[in-house]
Amino acid sequence: MRYFVRKIAFFLATLWAAITLNFIIPRLQPGDPAEVMVQKLAGKDAQLNPAAVQAMRAMLGAPDGNLFTQYVSYLGALAHGDFGISYTYYPYPVTEVIGQALPWTLVLVGVTQILAFVIGITLGAYAAWRRNTRFDSIVTLGSTFIGTLPSFWIALLLLFVFGYTVGWFPTSGGYSASTPGFNGPFITEAVSHSFLPALSLLITAPIGWILGMRNTMVMNLGEDYIRLAKAKGLPDRVVALRYAARNALLPSVTGFAIALGGVLGGSILVEQIYDYPGMGRLMGEAIGNRDFPLLQTLLLFIIVGVLLANLVADLLYGVLDPRARRAQS
Amino acid sequence: MTAGIVQTGSEERPGDATDERGEGDAGYSQQRWWQLLWSNTKARVGIILLLAFILIATFAPLIAPYEGTRSDFDALLPVSGDHLLGTTSQGADIFSQLVYGSRVSLLVGLFGGLVSTAIALVIGMWSGYKEGTVIDDILSFITNVAIVVPVLPLMIVLIAYSEVRGIPLIVFVIGITSWAGHARAKRSQIITLRNRDFVTAAKFAGEGSGRIIFREIMPSMTSLVAAGFVGASTGAIGAEAGLSFLGLGDPNSISWGTMLYQADSQGAVGQGLWAWVLAPGLILALLITSLTFINFGVDLLSNPHLREDS
């Protein structure tokens, strides 16, 4: 039980740290942050809506008063779900803008992450079981080579080959003519539009799992309990899957959140390339338009998403591995 | 750049302490560290590649036919003797851009790797040495937070807020965001060393914690520090490319990420301008490969088990 309490406490503490970081970052520059930012915008675009200035103040909390009162009003605004108003999509609140993009990224990153996990674990386990064979060296060396390729460059190549040259898949957007919603044409279009972005991420995403799983499982295969299992005449399949792989899986679970962060980072770049209507593209727009409320809220959403995934992975680990529970209490 | 780091450490390494643990290269005293590194094929390929990149970056003005930032040629010239890889739609020579781009990547790799490694060492070693104290609790918490927070979005926001874009900013942002994994590794490594006899002896001799950590313990894990540094450099080079690809790079110099950013935003992919898209990515992958290969070799230094296999 103490294990779970500790993990939940860590989640809450990191959540607080992330929220506070989000409060500090805009204040790192000298001067009144709201004024500085309004000035930045005015320099670029002389006609500035006074309501947008107001929105900026809303995002940053009360500009007057000391840092502490600003912090309190910032936390209060967050508690009410008030993240400010987007400049790019004025006058829509950033939460509404992100709400439109969130499902796209959630599906893209979620599906890629799960597929990468399954593919990586399977390949890694099989490479470890057949270690020092041809299959093993192809998988290990191949992963190392592909791992050196930047994922956004892979995305450009795939777009070039399958989008333009062969023309099998659409080159940009999330859908074309259909109405978004739960209907056949839309889902078909969304899938075909998401295919190349997902493939771009999927080429590099399993590599961490493959190498990690292979190394842990090779180590486990040298343990006595494996020798015992073999000695009692258990079939290879059972020894490989139910004994070695099952145990080797555990450390992979803890790496889930870090890997998710990597895939999310990759998706920011890949979404730019495919003009995919998710949070990554939104982030690109926010950078280009200096839309700070949108940018900051996106960062907060991404961090909180990864923290939640981390919490789930940690709790799952506690359920799967009784040693983890015992060691902490 | 890697070679320099390993060398300084190796000279300081107390031979007796290393022998005792059978860690590091002193146990295999016939072979010096550079011989070991060189005897590994992968590491040798990596070192030669990296040296080639360093030469290209140093002598860029001699190798490149034009200035990397010059863009007054005709747009989209085909591959020819004057323009080995053609020109971009803004009229820049792609080959010259590639040559000058190596400077940015190597600089960011060197300094980004150094900043990140320095932070990782201070935080990781200090927290591991003080294991179980409040200092360790705080530093470990900071490390764990920094590990779970996804780095690319954080770097993007930090750079987006900054007024002055440039290589120093990129180095700084990469350094302060990507030290955590390395710090955690250093923490667990120092925990295995902190109760050794030579540390106890140093304590009895009245040495301060800082001196013990960085002058007594750290030299005996030089190869691990070097491996961490090479890894951090690799990460920094990749991060710079990603950030520049988003248009957050140094506006006054050309990097491979910036080239891809321009290629993407000018629609090079749709127009089939393959040289413009292919070349920067390939060369970036080649540099990252060379560092990965070097790290295989550095791993051999710190882990004798790997040596027996090869």
The pLDDT score that the predictor gives to residue B237 is 96
Interface contact B153-A164, CB threshold 8 A: no
Contacts of B280 in chain A (CB under 8 A): 153
Q: What three-state secondary structure class fits A318? A: helix
Q: What three-state secondary structure class fits A120? A: helix
Share of chain B above pLDDT 70, in %: 88
pLDDT score of A103 more than 80: yes
CB B240 within 8 A of CB B159: no
pLDDT score of B22 more than 50: no
The pLDDT score that the predictor gives to residue A297 is 92
pLDDT score of A82 more than 50: yes
d(CA B45, CA A33) in angstroms, rounded, equals 50
pLDDT score of A328 more than 60: no
- Signed CA dihedral, B172, B174, B178, B183: sign only: negative
Average pLDDT over residues B207-227: 88
d(CA A84, CA A95) in angstroms, rounded, equals 8
B109 residue type, one letter: G
Interface contact B269-A163, CB threshold 8 A: yes
**Identity of the residue in A10, A156, A302 whose CB atom sits nearest the CB atom of B150:** A302
Contact status of A16 with chain B (Cβ, < 8 Å): no
Domains with residue ranges and CATH for chain A: 2-79 (no CATH), 97-328 (1.10.3720.10)
Confidence of residue A53 (pLDDT cuts 50, 70, 90): low
CA-wise closest residue to A243 among A262, A259, A222, A264: A222
Share of chain A above pLDDT 70, in %: 88
Region of B276 (left: φ > 0; alpha: ψ -120 to 50; beta: rest) is alpha
What's the mean pLDDT when you consider all of chain A? 85
Interface contact B242-A265, CB threshold 8 A: yes
Contact status of A255 with chain B (Cβ, < 8 Å): no
CB A113 within 8 A of CB B203: no
Chain A residue closest in CA terms to B291: A148
Alpha carbon separation from B290 to A185, B86, B285 (Å, rounded): 47, 27, 9
Contacts of A268 in chain B (CB under 8 A): 152-153, 156, 246
pLDDT score of B281 more than 60: yes
The pLDDT score that the predictor gives to residue A33 is 56
More confident residue, B23 or A104: A104
Q: Name residue B87's beta-bridge partners.
A: B93
**Closest CA–CA distance from residue A149 to any residue of chain B (Å):** 5
Contacts of B245 in chain A (CB under 8 A): 152, 269, 272
The pLDDT score that the predictor gives to residue B16 is 40
**Identity of the residue in A156, A296, A306 whose CB atom sits nearest the CB atom of B264:** A156
What is the SS3 assignment for chain B? CHHHHHHHHHHHCCHHHHHHHCCCCCCCCCCCHHHHHHHCHHHHHHHHHHHHHHHHHHCHHHHCCCCCCCCCCCCCCCCCCCCCCCECCCCCEHHHHHHHHHHHHHHHHHHHHHHHHHHHHHHHHHHHHCCCCHHHHHHHHHHHHHHHCCHHHHHHHHHHHCCCCCHHHHHHHHHHHCCHHHHHHHHHHHHHHCCCHHHHHHHHCCCCHHHHHHHHHHHHHHHHHHHHHHHHHHHHHHHHHHHHHCCCCCCCCCCHHHHHHHHHHCCCCCCCCHHHHHHHHHHHHHHHHHHHHHHHHHHHHHCHHHHHHC
More confident residue, A325 or B136: B136
pLDDT score of B9 more than 80: no
**What residues contact residue B244 under an 8 Å CB cut-off, 6+ apart?**
B250, B255, B256, B257, B258, B260, B261
Interface contact A156-B157, CB threshold 8 A: no
**Identity of the residue in B241, B248, B281 whose CB atom sits nearest the CB atom of A287:** B248
Instruction: Provide the residue count of chain A.
Output: 329
pLDDT score of B54 more than 80: yes
Interface contact B292-A147, CB threshold 8 A: yes
Residue of B137, B269, B292 best to disrupt the A interface, most CBs of A under 10 A? B269
More confident residue, A296 or A180: A296
pLDDT tens string A105-120 = 999 999 999 999 999 9
Confidence of residue A52 (pLDDT cuts 50, 70, 90): low
Contact status of A264 with chain B (Cβ, < 8 Å): yes
Interface contact B153-A292, CB threshold 8 A: no
CA-wise closest residue to A259 among A53, A116, A55: A116
**Identity of the residue in B141, B151, B248 whose CB atom sits nearest the CB atom of A261:** B151
Contact status of A155 with chain B (Cβ, < 8 Å): no
Share of chain B above pLDDT 90, in %: 49
pLDDT tens string A244-255 = 888 888 888 878
Phi, psi of A285 (to 5 degrees): -65, -40
The pLDDT score that the predictor gives to residue A120 is 94
pLDDT tens string B236-246 = 999 999 999 99
The pLDDT score that the predictor gives to residue A77 is 85
Confidence of residue B126 (pLDDT cuts 50, 70, 90): very high
The angle that helices B167-177 and B151-161 make with each other, rounded to 10 degrees, is 140
pLDDT score of A239 more than 60: yes
Alpha carbon separation from B1 to A94, A244, A300, B106, B236 (Å, rounded): 45, 41, 37, 9, 14
**Identity of the residue in B158, B272, B278 whose CB atom sits nearest the CB atom of A164:** B272
Residue of A145, A156, A165, A304 best to disrupt the B interface, most CBs of B under 10 A? A156
Confidence of residue B89 (pLDDT cuts 50, 70, 90): confident
**Closest CA–CA distance from residue A150 to any residue of chain B (Å):** 7
Chain A residue closest in CA terms to B234: A148
Average pLDDT over residues A277-283: 93
CA-wise closest residue to A59 among A30, A99, A25: A25
pLDDT score of A42 more than 70: no
This model of the complex carries an ipTM of 0.87
Interface residues on B facing A, Cβ-Cβ cutoff 8 A: 141, 144-145, 147-154, 156-158, 160-163, 181, 238, 241-242, 245-248, 260, 263-264, 269-270, 272, 274, 277-278, 280-281, 284-285, 288-289, 292
- Max avg pLDDT among A59-63, B47-51, B293-297: B47-51
Average pLDDT over residues B59-82: 81
pLDDT tens string B259-269 = 999 998 888 88
pLDDT score of A134 more than 60: yes
